[in-house]
Amino acid sequence: MAEPKRESAGCVGFVTVRRSAEHGYFGGYLIVNFHGRPLEFHCTLPVKPSRAQEILFGRTLDDFICGEQITKALVSKAKLNTNLIFTDCMAAISSRLVSDHPIAMLQPRADSSQAEPGLAIPISAADNLAHFRLGDYDLSVSSRFAGDEAIFKQRWHELKLDVDLHEPFERIAEALLEAHPAARAA
């Protein structure tokens, strides 16, 4: 029987997935408190789809691997319940189809490349996103779960986060490269 998740007031999750052409997909999930201090971190081993999966899933392969496999597994593995989950990987939003955890994609800054050498942020085949604004940030949720926007706005107001929402993704990307040095050489 799985251990119940601990409640932690004011914690927020950041999940991302990166793809290496040679090694496959790497995922990381960082949970921080409302000041940005890390509380929990998980990462995956590389996930390399088979040729059959590439053929059968076609343009929805990134959504399946990033959302339904990697993001769902990382969030399920966490010991802490988060108030909000953010991602910078559009394909990770598809985790909402197989999970009760609302997730919003943070739009990249206009001045950022968001790419590490040899790694790419997977894209999504879905184009059905509902866009909204929280403070200084532009976010998107799956339009199938447009009610998630209200959840994010309410919890955002309650939490009063003192965190740059873009910065944790930089930490996760560095941690993934540290955990999987072969990806750095790709």
30 SS3 class: strand
* Cβ partners under 8 Å of residue 121, min gap 6: 16, 17, 18, 19, 88, 89, 90, 114, 115
CA distance 183 to 129: 30
**Domain spans, the chain:** 10-185
C-alpha–C-alpha distance, residues 96 and 129, integer Å? 12
Per-residue confidence (pLDDT) for residue 185, from 0 to 100: 52
pLDDT of residue 21: 86
Consecutive sets of 10 residues in the chain, 186 residues long: mean pLDDT of each? 60 94 93 93 94 95 95 96 94 93 89 63 82 93 93 90 90 88 57
What CATH class does 10-185 carry?
alpha beta
